[in-house]
Structure 1
Amino acid sequence: MLQYLLVALGGALGSVSRFAIGRASFHWFDHSWPWATFAVNSLGSFAIGLIYVLITERSAMHADSRYLLMVGFLGAFTTFSTFALETVAMLEGGRWGLALGYVLATLVSCILGCGLGMLVMR
């Protein structure tokens, strides 16, 4: 039962954090690129790399932290389904180049972010 509560708490905090970043980016950046989705997916990938090493390799955090932070918080914080929808919207709007750039930039930044997070923590 504790694991479910940890996931729920982490999910609530993650979704509120994602919402806050979305609201802030709306005022900070232009709207030609989905900056909020890009940012949370990149940051979330970096964070999951950090947390993974802390839990599995360093034993610096209790194993149940995985439920709170990785499954709950980062599961709600990152927005891969939104990323997919925004990409399809770009394609449907005929903005193929922008869509391809967004997909490539997101995938590269998320993979590098996760690896960098693991490297930093090691």
Structure 2
Amino acid sequence: MHQIIAIAAGGAVGAVLRFLVSNGVYRVLGRDFPYGTLAVNVLGSLLMGFLFIIFIERELGMAEWRSAILIGLLGAFTTFSTFSMETIALLEAGDVSRAMLNVIISVLLCLTATWVGLSLGRQL
């Protein structure tokens, strides 16, 4: 039961952080491209890779902390469903090139960020 509460608490924090980071990015870069969603997904991927090494491979931290951060916080922070909706919206608006750019950039940057996070975690 403690683990469920930890995941819920982490999810609440992650959702608020997603809102704050995404809107901050949109204020700076504008809304003509899903920059905010891209930013939280790349940052979340980097943190997932890094913290996976710390919490799982190195077995640091209690199970509740691992669950709160990896499942709750980062699960709520990253926004794959938002990414999907924004990509479909671009397609429906007839902006196929931006939709495909969003898919390619998001997948490549998030995979790269996860790899960088794993690499950084392994260097500690």
Could you say which TM-score interval applies, normalised by the shorter chain?
Answer: over 0.9
2:64 — aligned with what? Answer: 64
Displacement after TM superposition at 1:14 (Å): 0.2
The reply on whether 1:82 has 2:86 as its aligned counterpart is: no
Distance of 1:7 and 1:16 partners within structure 2:
14
Identity %: 37
Counterpart CA distance in 1 for 2:56 and 2:25 is 33
What's the counterpart of residue 94 of structure 2? Answer: 94
Aligned position for 2:21: 21
Shift of residue 30, structure 1, vs aligned partner: 2.0
Of stretches 20-29 and 100-109 in structure 1, the one that deviates more from structure 2 is: 20-29
> Runs of 4 or more off by more than 4 Å in structure 1?
none
SS state of the match for residue 32, structure 1?
coil
The count of aligned residue pairs is 122
Say what the alpha-carbon RMSD is for the aligned residues: 1.0
Equivalent residue letter for 1:67 = S
Aligned to 2:103: 103
| Deviation sequence 1:22-62 (CA, Å, 0-9, x none) | 22123211221111100010010110101110012222322
Q: Which runs of 5 or more structure 2 residues have no equivalent in the other structure?
A: none
Where in structure 1 are there 5+ consecutive unaligned residues? none
**1:118 aligned partner, one-letter code:** L
Q: 3-state DSSP class of the match of 1:60?
A: coil
Q: Which residue of 2 aligns with 1:46?
A: 46
